[in-house]
Chain A
Amino acid sequence: AQSVSQHNHHVILSEAASLELGCNYSYGGTVNLFWYVQYPGQHLQLLLKYFSGDPLVKGIKGFEAEFIKSKFSFNLRKPSVQWSDTAEYFCAVMSYNTDKLIFGTGTRLQVFP
């Protein structure tokens, strides 16, 4: 069965620090990869996605993610976080032969000014 692992459950950073959130998945075939963000009290919003092509994808608000097929990873990065980035971040995977989006357990990011 497919699964998605987010190893960082809770990350605390100061403003301007760099961010990297890990995401690994278990599926040997072709996948579509997503990062969603959930700001406090709000619904999930798409941050970025990877379907094919350049493995380094750029999303909204200065976020980017790199797909490394050999490592089954899709880590999220941001060079300099802001207080407004405080949120929960979810990695999700969809394989080509299913219509199901499998979510990781989420990483809660707190950014202090």
Chain B
Amino acid sequence: DADVTQTPRNRITKTGKRIMLECSQTKGHDRMYWYRQDPGLGLRLIYYSFDVKDINKGEISDGYSVSRQAQAKFSLSLESAIPNQTALYFCATKGGETQYFGPGTRLLVL
């Protein structure tokens, strides 16, 4: 069984729609992260959470919000999706000094 899971794996939405990407982990880690990956830009940090009560903005948080519902769950929302948010989104957890990544959600905003 995968330790970090993401749903949905693929999503197509329209400009202006609100969507939520979900991440769950069974690793028991306190720290969780959301990244987006764009071709030629690598991964960039959107938000991160040290625990349920501690959420922090990353380098590209504008247009996104997050919710840490429990230690195991960390959701990313796009309040009003726009085409330049089309990307591959990864959730990760951190154990020790190492981050472990989920399988990704491929999002297309039309």
Contact = CB atoms under 8 A, between A and B. Distances in A.
Interface of A: 4, 9, 32, 34, 36, 42-46, 49, 51, 90, 94, 99-101, 103-106
B32 to A, nearest CB: 11
Given A42-B103, A43-B90, A105 B42 contact: yes
Given A9-B40, A104-B42, A105-B40, A99 B94 contact: yes
B45 interface: yes
A43 B42 contact: no
B58 to A, nearest CB: 7
A46 B42 CA distance: 15
Contact of B42 (A32, A94, A103): A103
A43 B99 CA distance: 12
B90 A44 contact: yes
A106 B42 contact: yes
Given A44-B101, A49-B97, 4 more contacts: A43-B101, A101-B45, A105-B42, A106-B40
Contacts of A42: 103
Interface residues of B, number: 21
Contacts of A45: 101
Interface string B31-57: 101000000111111001010000000
A90 B42 contact: yes
Contacts of B90: 43-44
Contacts of A106: 40, 42
A63 B71 CA distance: 34
Contacts of B103: 42-43
Contacts of B43: 44, 90, 103
Nearest to A9: B40
A51 B97 contact: yes
Given A32-B97, A94-B97, A99-B50, A43 B104 contact: yes
18 contacts: A9-B40, A32-B97, A42-B103, A43-B101, A43-B103, A44-B90, A45-B101, A46-B98, A46-B100, A94-B97, A99-B31, A99-B94, A100-B45, A101-B45, A103-B44, A104-B42, A105-B40, A105-B41
